[in-house]
Structure 1
Amino acid sequence: MGVAVPSLAEVIVGLMFVDDLVAMIESVEDIKEMLQRIQVWSDKRGMECGGIDPISMAAPKALDAIGKALQSQYERWQPRARYKLHSDPIVEDVKKLCGQCRKNAKSERVLFHYNGHGVPKPTANGEIWFFNKNYTQYIPLSVYELEAWLGTPSIYVFDCSAAGMIVNAFLERPEWGSGISPAAAMKDCILLAACGADEILPQSAKFPADIFTSCLTTPIKIALRWFCSRSLLRDSFDSKLIDEIPGRQIDRKTLLGELNWIFTAVTDTIAWNVLPRELFQRLFRQDLLVASLFRNFLLAERIMRSANCIPVSFPLLPPTHQHPMWDAWDMAAEICLSQLPNLRDPNAEFQ
């Protein structure tokens, strides 16, 4: 997405509705067969949003473009949810928006996405930053207040440096009391943070400024770019072709759909292998968007560890970045990228 503009703070609050349970993934033995079937595809541009360079346009336009792109990416994972976008909000706006979303959601899950690029880091007390009414300075907002406004069930995404401080603040909340464990008190609260409490988001040109959000919302695109940058293809392959992968994520008769299916199979298998059964069912089989976000979180851990950042979650997940099932995904990525330059037949369908 390029370099974040100064004073960039975006909040997306969306309503999540539980759909049918996600269908169980078929046996991973099918992966070899799937890899062999990646052959010919139509030459349509992929569904993923392209990168947005905020420096190339006026700040208000950049904010609007980034916000709309992020909303569009979430809509691909949960099209029936309702979304509220607010760029550069003041605290009063956040409170009002949270109240409206909880009222509309009732007992369903609410998503809160905080893009904190260009604003001060969270404080050790668990405060994040928003504008005052005059847009002249940042003022802190305690995540305890935020949690009270948003209620539960909820899921928070914090894409900012030192995001782990926010998770620590949630877990160390004094109001929980000595007789209540954080796990019990936060049973209906899910946290996804871009990095640890003492870590800074990657500043390298090799990564988009919002690498964590990119992993969560456009996993196939960012996974292929990351693989390409580390493979023997990096010197001969035009990475712009990744934006042109044809098809739709929900259609397995297209390249993009088959890649998404393989990615789902791989990440579900990893989660099934490393998580307690109750936690796997809760995170990967009860809510479609939560399941998608946690699959993509596994990718975020793998990619961001290569940039010396370790994403943090609650519930806490064990390390998965070196799981052997990633080799299956790398094989699929290599086959896709090696054939992509020649797949130009607009009338061909997946065989």
Structure 2
Amino acid sequence: MALGDLMASRFSSQSPVALVSSHYDHYPSNHEDDANDVARRDDNNTSNNYRDRDSDTASTSNYGGGNATESTTTTTTNSTAYLPQTVVLCELRHEAFEASVPTGPSDSGLVSKWRPKDRMKTGCVALVLCLNISVDPPDVIKISPCARMECWIDPLSMAPQKALESIGKNLSNQYERWQPKARYKVQLDPTVDEVKKLCNTCRKYAKSERVLFHYNGHGVPKPTANGEIWLFNKSYTQYIPLPVSDLDSWLRTPSIYVFDCSAAGTIVNAFMELHDWNASGSAGSMRDCILLAACEAHETLPQSDEFPADVFTSCLTTPIKMALKWFYKRSLLCDSLDYSLIDKIPGRQNDRKTLLGELNWIFTAVTDTIAWNVLPHDLFQRLFRQDLLVASLFRNFLLAERIMRSANCSPISHPMLPPTHQHHMWDAWDMAAEICLSQLPSLVEDPNAEFQPSPFFTEQLTAFEVWLDHGSEHKKPPEQLPIVLQVLLSQCHRFRALVLLGRFLDMGPWAVDLALSVGIFPYVLKLLQTTTPELRQILVFIWTKILALDKSCQVDLVKDGGHTYFIRFLDSLEAYPEQRAMAAFVLAVIVDGHRRGQEACIEAGLIHVCLKHLRGPVPNDSQTEPLLIQWLCLCLGKLLEDCTEAQIQGLQADAPAIYAPLLLEPQPEGLCCICTGHLA
């Protein structure tokens, strides 16, 4: 049986908020006679009841005119119902064993599957803008008034070359908000040779990291039927086609492409055909090639001045601004709110206490939730948890689909995503956006005015709590799980979110795996650095559930110094014994077969902490929690196992003398744990 099985089953029915210690009464031998007397009295009473019941049954049967056979049958049936009930195999060890057999980590097949595989980052970004400002492509007939804004700049408001440079700089800045550590290269109205040099340079710099290639083709014709994109010759007198096969050979993989132009779907189709033709290794190379395109092969980009000309790029790189401008014209606020104020939203995107930060936080939670609920989990992991920049682009791609479909334009991607533009979580975003925007005039007028947070997260936590009251493994998973992850970032919601998360994890290994798959692990790992007292008990409970499922987390805990958190909790006398037993279990898993974990815990003084608490209790004392003694012994045993340094320290601390009185432990499972620790 795996180390976590018994612990997981032992606490499967415990409340994660207030775990009250359970104490077991051990009756001394002089109580046996009293127990026998009670048993005799029960037997006599039972016999009398049988006689009374039999006579009543017989008279009732005869009174009803029944025959002898019916009378006998009735008597036998009723007498059987009153046989004394003998309850066996009801000790703690029996319940724990039965509960742990079908749900152990080794049998569940869940261990470590939640971890994102092949974590990656985008190391270089190539931005190619083919705008040819003031010259319209020959295949485009523009309406009037027409969409003109590129990266929120009107190209006709300044000299063409200056406008081109400003747009390129703005686009680079917009991408840098999502991945500031990447290297950015911009090519403005380039030739084929310049793009080739750009791609080779980016791949050389990125090495095995991902390269992003962004193409804006608003100043050139639509892609050809073969999926070729257009560039320029040196004198800007001709459009020169660039086959996607050349582009693919220069950038190679891993890569992500963004194509913002009309008929962008033809480029995606060309990539698909290209990789289908390359039979050898096509699946692997196409898997590392991600495509985002503004529209399908037969569609043209929106020209209405309601949108910027680069509406697809604006959704991907400035989602909050684009979402609010689009929502404003469909909201009742358009009659009372000045449209220009949207450009003056105060705050920073990474500061959740400001209006802009709150909106960005809610938007991330909404888009993450939509993706989590509509995508297969392996695809969600790949697109939303593997690469920070890719995750941001795909969150914003969901917004692009919503906005551009309102203009009869359908963005597409590879891997292909199911439609999400009508998901009901967009209604929650609209409400939150309206509440935040209603405060905008007062916040702009008075910079010292206090911002009132949206009730979005409180309401979503309430919805999650309702699911916990009625949900189960056999029902649809709670859609608010990604929001719980986001709420852990906020101090005002953190305690409630952790308590609800603990309740969810307590539902079984499937719930723990689901929470880990959504990305909860780095958040609860980071929370071990906090010193907030009220979070200690629930964090220990959560980590008990995680390690009962996946022992491999021991490496992460030691690497981040998380083991010291549990040693301090174990040494605290303020917590209930059962809660400290959980900490002992966590530490036992940390040192189980993990030399680095053993060394770290020895250095942190775990041996002396365990022996100190084993020295104090008396096994037959009714106030002693047997579970704490068991896990202290198991923890110490695993710490000493195959570790000479720990064994020497244990002998120097007089561990054998401390263990000797514990051998009087009456419960067999407790005695086994003590012997395990003693023999180690």
| TM-score above 0.5, yes or no | yes
Q: Supply the distance in 2 between the matched residues of 1:328 and 1:105 (Cα, whole angstroms).
A: 39
Matches within 5 A, 1:116-265: 116-173=217-274, 176-177=277-278, 184-265=284-365
Q: Which has the higher contact order (CA 8 A, sep 6+)?
A: 1
CA separation of 1:204 and 1:271: change in aligned 2, threshold 3 A: same
d(CA) in 2 for partners of 1:4 and 1:131? 9
Q: Match for residue 19 of structure 1? A: none
For 1:268 and 1:283, locate their aligned partners in 2 and report how far apart those are by CA, in whole Å.
Answer: 11
Distance 2:431 2:381 in 1: 28
The CA deviation at 1:111 is 0.5
Give yes or no for the alignment of 1:78 onto 2:206: no
In 2, Cα distance between equivalents of 1:179 and 1:288: 30
Q: Which moved more, 1:93-102 or 1:232-241?
A: 232-241
Distance 1:175 1:168, change over 3 A: closer
| From 422, 429, 434, the counterpart of 1:322 | 422
State whether structure 2 residue 187 is matched by structure 1 residue 91. Answer: no
Which SS does the other structure have where 1:129 is aligned?
strand
CA distance in 2, matches of 1:307, 1:100: 38
CA distance in structure 2 between the aligned counterparts of 1:62 and 1:185, rounded to whole angstroms: 38
CA displacement at 1:339 relative to structure 2: 1.7
What is the identity, as a one-letter code, of the residue corresponding to 2:315? Answer: C
1:17 — aligned with what? none
CA distance in 2, matches of 1:260, 1:320: 19
Distance apart, 1:261 and its partner CA: 0.5
| In 1: Cα distance, 2:151 partner to 2:450 partner | 24
- Please show how residues 49-68 of structure 1 align to structure 2 within 5 Å: 51-68=152-169
Question: 1:176 deviation in Å?
Answer: 2.9
Letter in 2 for 1:160: C
What secondary structure sits across from 1:186 in the alignment? helix
**2:446 alignment counterpart:** 345
Asked whether the equivalents of residues 8 and 88 of structure 1 are also in contact (C-alpha less than 8 Å), the reply is no
Check whether the contact 1:4–1:54 (CA below 8 A) recurs between aligned residues: no
Residue 132 to residue 240, structure 1, CA distance change in 2 (3 Å)? same
Q: 1:312–1:50: structure 2 CA closer, same or farther, 3 Å change rule?
A: closer
Matched, 1:313 2:413: yes
Distance in 2 (CA, whole Å) between partners of 1:257 and 1:74 is 17
Matches within 5 A, 1:261-340: 261-340=361-440
Distance 1:114 1:8, change over 3 A: farther
Query: How far apart in 1 are the matches of 2:132 and 2:238?
Result: 18
Deviations 1:158-206 (A, max 9, x none): 00000011001111127634687x6544010000000010000000010
1:53-82 deviations in whole A, cap 9, x for unaligned?
001111111110111000000011111111
**In structure 2, how many angstroms separate the alpha carbons of the residues matched to 1:90 and 1:4?**
12
Give the superposition deviation at 1:5. Answer: 2.9
Distance 2:151 2:299 in 1: 27
Tell me how far apart the structure 1 counterparts of residues 411 and 135 of structure 2 sit (CA, whole Å).
23
Which structure has the highest helix share of the two?
A: 2
Aligned mates of 1:235, 1:267 — CA distance in 2 = 28
Task: Name the residue aligned to 1:15.
Answer: none
1:349 Cα deviation from its structure 2 partner: 5.2
Q: Equivalent residue of 1:152, what SS?
A: coil
Distance (Å, rounded) in 2 between the aligned partners of 1:185 and 1:318: 23
Kindly state the Cα deviation for residue 51 of structure 1 after the two structures are TM-superposed: 1.9
* Residues 221, 4 of structure 1: alpha-carbon distance in 2 compared, 3 angstrom cutoff: farther
C-alpha separation between the residues in 1 aligned to 2:253 and 2:372? 26
Structure 1's 258 and 8: CA in aligned 2 closer, same or farther, altered over 3 A? farther
Instruction: Give the percent of matched residue pairs that are identical in Structure 1 and Structure 2.
Output: 76
1:108 to 195, 203, 209: 209
- For the residue of structure 2 that corresponds to 1:296, the secondary structure is helix
Q: Secondary structure at the match of 1:241?
A: helix
Deviant stretches of 4+, over 6 Å: none
Q: Using the TM superposition, give the Cα deviation of residue 347 of structure 1 relative to its aligned residue in structure 2, in angstroms.
A: 2.8
CA shift, 1:134, in A, is 2.3
Partners of 2:339 and 2:295 lie apart in 1 by: 26
Structure with higher Rg: it is 2
Q: Is the 8 A contact 1:220 1:260 kept in 2?
A: yes
Change in Cα spacing, 1:123 to 1:50, as seen in structure 2 (3 Å) is closer
Contact 1:131 1:137 in 2 (8 A): yes
Partners in 2 of 1:310 and 1:250 — Cα distance?
A: 30
Distance verdict in 2 for CA 1:286–1:139, change over 3 Å: same
Name the residue aligned to 1:39.
Answer: none
* Residue ranges of structure 2 left out of the alignment (5+ in a row): 1-130, 138-149, 453-680
Are 1:164 and 1:197, in contact at CA under 8 Å, matched by a contact in 2?
yes
Q: Is the 8 A contact 2:174 2:317 kept in 1?
A: yes
Q: One-letter code of the match for 2:153?
A: I
Match of 1:46 in 2: none
Q: With the length of structure 1 as denominator, give the TM-score of the two structures.
A: 0.84
Q: Which residue of 1 aligns with 2:660?
A: none
2:133 match: 5
Structure 1 residues 50 and 142: alpha-carbon distance in aligned structure 2, compared to 1, 3 A threshold: closer
Which piece of structure 1 moves more, 195-204 or 230-239? 230-239
Greater share of residues in strand: 1
Inter-CA distance 226–136: structure 2 relative to 1 (3 Å threshold)? same
TM-score normalised per structure 2: 0.44
Q: List per-residue Cα deviations over 1:291-320 (Å, max 9, x = no partner).
A: 000000000000000000000100000000
Instruction: State the secondary structure of the residue aligned to 1:101.
Output: helix
Q: In structure 2, do the counterparts of structure 1 residues 313 and 175 end up closer, same or farther at CA, with 3 Å as the change threshold? A: closer
RMSD: 2.0
The CA distance in 1 between the partners of 2:216 and 2:326, in whole Å, is 22
- CA displacement, residues 84-142 of structure 1 (integer Å, 9 cap, x when unaligned): 01100100000001000000000000010001002100011110000112221111000
Partner of 2:15: none
**How far apart, in 2, do the equivalents of 1:176 and 1:342 lie?**
60
- Of the structure 1 ranges 328-337 and 228-237, higher mean CA displacement relative to structure 2 is found in 228-237
C-alpha contact 2:439 2:451 (8 A) present in aligned 1: no
Q: 1-side partners of 2:189 and 2:294: how far apart?
A: 20
Report the count of equivalent residues.
309
**Which amino acid in structure 1 is aligned with residue 307 of structure 2?**
F
